[in-house]
Amino acid sequence: MYGVIPVAIALVAWEAVARLDLVPGGMFFPPFSMVIEEIYDLAMTGVLAENFMPSLLRVVIGLASGSVVGLLIGTAMGWNRQVGRTLGPIISLLYPIPALGWLPLMMIWIGINELLPITIIFICTFFPICYTTATGIKSVDLRFVQAARSLGASDLRILITVIFPMALPDIFTGLRLEAGMAWRVIIAAEMVAIPTGIGALLMKAESLVRVDIILACLLILSVMCFCFERMFLFLESSLIDRWR
């Protein structure tokens, strides 16, 4: 509840400042209520769905595929020293490249189609998830592995029933961070190169000087980042809190 109060105060302040024309160039600072009205209009006319759904699908597909592949390769790197030593340097070299830095290259290799934004989200998600998974796996105390071995468990069983569950706190940290990051990246990719999506709608609104639509898109982006992060927080809480 305490988190809601500052947000409510900020929204009330925004409304008041805009309504009272306290900012020069009033048309560039519409009140909060006008932004909400615009979201409603966009929803009713179908423009919102037309642009929001593609962005949502791209994020979900890119995030899911990047996470799964990152989890698999990160697990292999964390569990097997040889795999870690082989892939580690390559991952370390590629990880620092920002996801959007891949955009020009992918535009040439893939072209401008649905695969382009999904690939960018995939790249944005894969490296951090791979890294946090490998770290999580390696950080599991060896004594738990020894205990499981002494009880008769095979290596595969140990990986699935002991190591992976105990690495979940680290893995979920990566997933929570990337959930929000995926939305930020997709907006930027759509602003630059993709003709559909929330980012593209943002650019169209900018060219028409429709600040209300721009703010509406930013509000939607903020809510989606928040919702996705909360979703992973909820998952983490239900899987881990009872034993942490």
Partner 1 sequence: MLVGPNGAGKTTLLNVVAGLVCYKGSVLFDGAPVDSLPARKRNVGYVFQDLVLFPHMNVTTNVAYGIQALDWPQDRIERRVTELLEVLRIPRLASRYPTKLSGGEKQRVALARALAAHPKILLLDEPFNNLDRQTTRLLRTELKLLQRDLGTTMIIVTHDLTEVEGIADRIAIMLEGRIEQVGRPDEVLLSPGGTKTAECIGFPNVLACQKTRDLGHGLATVACDGIDIVVPHNRSPIRKIIVWPRDVLVSLYPPPSQVNAFEGLLSEIIRQPGSVQMVVEVGGCRLMAELPQQLFESMSIAEGDKVYLELNLMKIRTYEEYGISSSQN
Q: Applying CB under 8 A, does 144 fall inside the site for partner 1?
A: yes
d(CA 221, CA 93): 30
Rank residues 4 and 242 by Cβ distance to partner 1 and give the closer one: 242
User: What is the 3 state secondary structure string of 151-215?
Assistant: CCCCHHHHHHHHHHHHHHHHHHHHHHHHHHHHHHHHHHHHHHCCCCCHHHHHHHHHHCCCHHHHH
Can residue 150 be called a binding residue for partner 1 (CB under 8 A)? yes
Label residue 21 left, alpha or beta by phi (over 0 means left) and psi (-120 to 50 means alpha): left
Euclidean distance between CA atoms 91 and 127, whole angstroms:
7
181 scored as a contact of partner 1 (CB under 8 A)? no
Stretch that binds partner 1, among 80-88, 92-100, 141-149, 202-210 (CB under 8 A): 141-149
Instruction: Quote the least distance from Cβ 235 to partner 1, whole Å.
Output: 15
Which region, judged by CB under 8 A, interacts with partner 1, from 5-13, 78-86, 118-126, 152-160?
Answer: 152-160
Tell me: does residue 244 bind partner 1 (CB under 8 A): yes
Token pair listed for 24: 């020069």
* Interface with partner 1, residue 230, by CB under 8 A: no
The contact set with partner 1 (CB under 8 A) reads: 141, 143-144, 146-154, 157, 161-162, 165-166, 168, 240, 242-244
